[in-house]
Chain A
Amino acid sequence: MIELFPDLPVGYLVMLGALLIPVVPRRLVGPYMLALPVLGLVQLWSLPLGHTVDLSLAGLEIQPTRVDRLSRIFGTIFHMAALLGALYALHVKDRLQHVAALVYAGSAIAAAFAGDLISLFINWELTAISSVFLIWARRTERAYTVGLRYLVIQVLSGVLLLAGAISWYAETGSLAFERMELSGIGSWLIFLSFGIKAAFPFLHNWLQDAYPEATVTGTVFLSAFTTKLAIYALCRGFAGTELLIPIGATMTAFPIFFAVIENDMRRVLAYSLNNQLGYMVVGIGIGTEMSINGTAAHAFAHIIYKALLFMSMGAVLHRVGTIKAAELGGLYKSMPLTTVFCMIGALAISAFPFLSGFVSKSMIMTAAADEHYTITFVVLLFASAGVCDHSGIKIPFFTFFAHDSGKRCKEAPINMLLAMGTAAALCVLIGIFPDYLYALLPHDVAYNAYTVTHVVTQLQLLMFAGLAFGVMMRAGIYPPELNAVNIDFDWTYRRAIPALWSQLRTGLVVADQTFRRDYLARTASLLVSGSRETYSPKGRMGEPWATGPSSLIAAVLLGAFLLLYYF
């Protein structure tokens, strides 16, 4: 097979191609945007496994591209996400957003193929810098501050990665990005850097803060790349690191409580994204071939259904002007197709049989059970019931059904419908023909998701969870959707630390004033009055000295000086 652009690092086609969007004739912008990810995908699949691009940069050997099965599956889904996102954003006139989105996609792809830590770092930072424009493109003051917060945290992750890479190089003499043990400062810094982007507990709030504030189309891109790039990087660098199991399990469980009571539907999806990352992180922590396959498969399936859910909520925001659950309801009458697509995404994320989540999440669950992680398994099962609530039921129910809000609008634009329809079709196809997905996975493992036990138990879990929802709604104890915000861990750096800092500053000012007033002023007045006494005409230094002692003192000083000079 002919290799397409074998010397061009994978991802650069999309990234560099995006820079030309501003000069493309207006009528061709759409086709051009769609062509870039397609070309990139063709390039990727024309290259054989084991293909590398090597460069020498300032005496360092770097490897901007390394094609193997792990990078290829992430590269493939990243290209597909870029294509879906571009299709969804086709109606947008603002070319800045198009450039930002595709540079972002391209740099994420390039990062997934980086064979060394320096290439990884460069593209890691590029994703941060390009993606922030998808938030700023909303052009509101709020988006501006949110974007700044997002950028600071993302760049911090990059700085940690660079510091880690340098330490790692000093410790091992190698910059190659391979599996590493958590020992020594270098690997810990790199781990922390990945942890920020993967939204580990307490490092997670940038995600829920930023994603709901991006543009309608920007959030679709954001949902696909940054966090899954971190999942890829953890897969590559830290597979089998057992610490990841409790971290991942926590990630599956604790965002779902927030998702239940959140009002902004895109923020609900951000919490749900965090929960889905938890499954992948657990899979990486277990580290068996089965679990790594599970993580890769789940990332693949997840990118599609999560993008689909964000697209459907984006379409509602685009048409209705709000995405607050308390103000929505009954939209199935106005947007029937969007409703159907959203429900397919909701069922897919809930891991309903014959949809994509079912065939991917179960691999991680099975791997956890095979390795006898009992507590982890129960937590994951609990989180599965939770997913069923916030993404499976809450998102479609309170948007499209529930109480009719009386809002009427047009169905989503045709390009949005096409993008959602394609994503929905992929959810179904992967669910029915999982072997095509399994063939892409990093390891050759035989796995069959469709056993009677698995289908029945999963249906039981979901249906009974749905029943609980029905019972709670009828009993009137399901928490109502309220126009309110809930504080999360970001409260510490958005409120507590600034408040403490301003108190500290006030304290310092007071201390400073007290010091000046009480101490410095008094010392100064003492000095003034003291010197007035000493140097006044009647003071000790002020009165005339006798000639004799004076000349004696002068002679002694002169003698001492001569002696010193002599030696």
Chain B
Amino acid sequence: MTQPPESERTQTPQAGSQAEVPRGEDKRWLDEHKNVDKVFYALVGVCALLALADFGYHKHAHFSFEGVHAFHGLFGFLAYFGLVLTATQLRKLLKRDENYYD
């Protein structure tokens, strides 16, 4: 992905950076990077369990494609990925300066 010019980039990167906790304030659990990792791996675990769950019951599918193992999970993952990547590309076309209409 191409990075936007320096001037437009937000001052604070969003992912993976340690939070700037103002002085005199206690660090919260989520301020620790390793705890954010824990949340992520918990999510991976939940997804794995949900994918396995498909073995455990008879699925009442309306359409044949829904019968594919863990269809909704795969679909959700790919749809999400596709949506966000497409929107990122669209941004190149649609993005204007904040005061564009003023």
Contacts and interface: CB of A to CB of B under 8 A. Distances in A.
Contacts of A257: 83, 86-87, 90
A398 B80 CA distance: 17
Contacts of B72: 381, 457-458, 460-461, 464
Interface in A365-384: 366, 369-370, 374, 377, 381-382
A385 B80 contact: yes
A179 interface: no
A194 B28 CA distance: 50
Nearest to A487: B94
A485 B8 CA distance: 12
Nearest to B74: A464
Q: With a 10 A CB-CB cut-off, give which of B21, B75, B80 has the most chain A CB atoms.
A: B80
B79 to A, nearest CB: 4
Contacts of A465: 76-77, 79-80
Contact of B19 (A381, A404, A472, A480): A404
Contacts of B9: 480, 482
B49 to A, nearest CB: 9
A501 interface: no
Contacts of B21: 404
Interface residues of B, number: 64
A398 B84 CA distance: 15
A341 B63 CA distance: 36
Interface stretch (A127-135, A226-234, A299-307, A325-333): A325-333
A528 interface: no
Given A256-B83, A370-B62, A377-B62, A482 B10 contact: yes
Nearest to B79: A385
Contacts of A459: 50
Interface SS of chain A: helix, strand, loop or mixed?
Answer: helix
A255 B101 CA distance: 20
B22 A485 contact: no
A478 B25 CA distance: 30
Given A465-B80, A479-B88, A473 B15 contact: yes
A474 interface: yes
A386 B74 contact: no
A405 interface: yes
Given A388-B76, A494-B101, A470 B70 contact: no
Given A261-B94, A456-B54, A487 B100 contact: yes
A73 B83 CA distance: 35
A247 to B, nearest CB: 21
A389 B82 CA distance: 12
Contacts of B88: 260-261, 477, 479
Interface string B33-64: 00000001001101100110110011111110
A466 interface: yes
Interface string A478-494: 11111111111000001
Given A381-B79, A468-B80, A463 B17 contact: no
B87 A479 contact: yes
A386 B84 CA distance: 9
A272 to B, nearest CB: 13
Contacts of A481: 10, 14
Nearest to B21: A404
Contact of A486 (B20, B28, B81, B95): B95
A403 interface: yes
Contacts of A333: 25, 28
Contacts of A495: 101
Contacts of B81: 468, 471-472
A469 interface: yes
A464 B76 contact: yes
B76 A486 contact: no
Contacts of A472: 81, 84
A458 to B, nearest CB: 7
Contacts of B51: 460
B19 A330 contact: yes
Nearest to B86: A257
A530 interface: no
Contacts of A494: 101
A452 interface: yes
A340 B95 CA distance: 32
A471 B80 CA distance: 11
A286 B72 CA distance: 23
Contacts of B74: 464
Contacts of A474: 15-16, 40
A474 B61 CA distance: 34
A454 B35 CA distance: 32
A139 interface: no
A445 B13 CA distance: 51
Contact of B84 (A382, A457, A458, A478): A478
Interface of A: 142, 256-258, 260-261, 326, 329-330, 332-333, 366, 369-370, 374, 377, 381-382, 385-386, 388-389, 398, 401-406, 408, 451-453, 456-474, 476-488, 494-495
7 contacts: A398-B14, A404-B31, A406-B20, A460-B73, A472-B81, A479-B91, A495-B101
The 5 closest A-B pairs by CB, nearest first: A369-B62, A404-B19, A460-B73, A260-B87, A468-B80
Given A385-B75, A389-B83, A482-B9, 12 more contacts: A260-B87, A261-B94, A374-B63, A385-B83, A460-B54, A462-B76, A466-B43, A469-B84, A470-B43, A472-B84, A481-B14, A486-B95
